A and B are shown apart, each in its own frame.
Chain A
Amino acid sequence: MDTSKITTPINEKVIKNLNPGDKVEITGTFYIARDQAHKKLIELIKKGKKLPFPLEGQIIYYCGPTPARKGEIIGSAGPTTSKRMDPFTEILLEHGLKGTIGKGTRSKEVTNAIKKHKAVYFVTYGGAGAYLRQFITKNELVAYPELGPEAIRKITVKDFPAYVGIV
């Protein structure tokens, strides 16, 4: 299977060359965020406050990893169901977010918003957290440690495998 390599941050030029179904390997950084973190990010945007990380050209990975064991970078770290983040996605795209990674379907509204903002939605292997953790080389806490597995994290990835879902 043909695989194209992508490096973050991503821009419209990179996204223009992607087609649904393409396999990609992504190198760079992802921000891990899911349900409660999204709720908090949107609250900050609505209040006009600064976000804990820059959205411009970035990719959010919908994930809640298992705790890292002693001496390890991260635990199992596969994708969670993306559609739960649908209510929050368009506003993040409006503020510069370029990509999301998860599993499953997106709503019509989010599909349209992804196209409108020239962004991309990737799907990666659902239920394969033990496999996907191997592509993560660094893991840093960014915000909301009180959320435990739902905290925002910045992870560094090398050749992280995914497929283009919506573009």
Chain B
Amino acid sequence: MRTINTEQITNEVSRLWQDANFYLDKDIINVIKKKLQKEKDPRVKDALSIILNNAELARKERRPICQDTGIPIVFLEIGQDVMIKGGDLTDAVNRGIRQGTGKGSLRPSVVNCPFDRKNTNDNTPAVIHTEIVKGDKLKISVMAKGAGSENCSQTKMLLPTDGEREIEKFVLESIKLASSNPCPPIIVGLGIGGTLEKAVYLSKKALLAPLNKINPDKKIRALEENIIKKINKLKIGPNGFGGGTTVLALRIEKFPCHIASLPVAINISCHVHRHKEVIL
């Protein structure tokens, strides 16, 4: 059995939490550069240029890309042959978030309770999702999730007799309603199937995939591409300025479900799509 110390987990979480907030992934930058070349409207071009300019400044100066440095969401894929030593795992993760928030001058954006709403001043507690998987590795993914886009997310229990058209309709209605509020161009995660909470979890996990990853399921890929096309026809665009760049990527994650159910969850991420991973 392999041993991983909680101190190492703390250090990695602190680093990933800061890096996610400072360094926008190259795949997003590259997609935005391509979209910038295609757009004609000067306001749309201006908005996309500023996104690139901003990401470059943040990278160079090691500072938050966006002032909403997000709520920390930490995904732990724990190999069943790994033993974690050195104290409580949840504490280790939260220590990492606390350290990273201080070192990186990140904004404290988490309150202690939905009613009292007192700022915890260090972004703890993180939302932590754990999965036990095969092997002797530990994969840590840290996502910094802004509230502007999170607030535009939706879930709905469709009928089992509904199909792709109804799913598509629900997604388009939700994106229309979100309009320019989630900071387009957006990335969309769709969780389809399972139960209410499983669909929501899958919609979040769908956001972790690299932007250029192609869905191996041809039928699902066709559905993804079809919805992307239709969203971009809504002409919301960066800052709500119109044009054809509303969504940069859309991912579907699916799971078997009850004969009577068709849960669908939509999780939206802004263009400052931040997550970093490490495998220990």
Q: Give A contacts to B, CB under 8 Å.
A: 1, 21, 23, 36, 63-69, 75-78, 80-81, 83, 103-105, 123, 125-131, 134, 147-150, 163
Q: Is the CB of B61 within 8 A of A130?
A: yes
Q: Is the CB of B57 within 8 A of A149?
A: no
B 40-81 contacts with A by CB, 8 A: 42-43, 46-47, 50-51, 53-55, 57-58, 61, 63-69
Which of A36, A63, A67, A77 is in CB contact (< 8 Å) with B105? A67
Which of B42, B43, B108, B239 is in CB contact (< 8 Å) with A126? B239
Q: How far is the CB of A122 from chain B (nearest CB, A)?
A: 11
- Chain B contacts for A149, CB-based, 8 A: 67, 107-109, 119
Which of A67, A130, A163 is in CB contact (< 8 Å) with B107? A67
Q: How many residues of B contact A (CB 8 A)?
A: 42
- Chain A contacts for B67, CB-based, 8 A: 63-66, 75-78, 80, 129, 149
- Chain A contacts for B66, CB-based, 8 A: 76, 78, 127-130
Against A, the Cβ 8 Å flags (1 = close, 0 = not) of B199-234 are: 000000000000000000000000000000000000
Q: Is the CB of A81 within 8 A of B119?
A: no
- Chain A contacts for B148, CB-based, 8 A: 80-81, 103-104, 126
Between-chain CB contacts (< 8 Å), 12 pairs: A64-B109, A66-B107, A76-B64, A127-B54, A127-B183, A128-B50, A128-B66, A130-B66, A149-B108, A149-B109, A163-B239, A163-B241
Q: Give B contacts to A, CB under 8 Å.
A: 42-43, 46-47, 50-51, 53-55, 57-58, 61, 63-69, 105-109, 117, 119, 121, 146-148, 151, 179-181, 183, 238-241, 270-272
Q: A76-B65, A105-B240 in contact; A127/B271 too (CB < 8 A)?
A: yes
Which of A36, A66, A123, A134 is in CB contact (< 8 Å) with B240? A123
- Chain B contacts for A148, CB-based, 8 A: 108, 119, 121
Q: How far is the CB of A75 from chain B (nearest CB, A)?
A: 6
- Chain A contacts for B240, CB-based, 8 A: 104-105, 123
User: How far apart sit A134 and B181, CA to CA, in the bound complex (Å)?
Assistant: 23
Chain A binding surface, main DSSP class: loop
User: How far apart sit A127 and B66, CA to CA, in the bound complex (Å)?
Assistant: 5
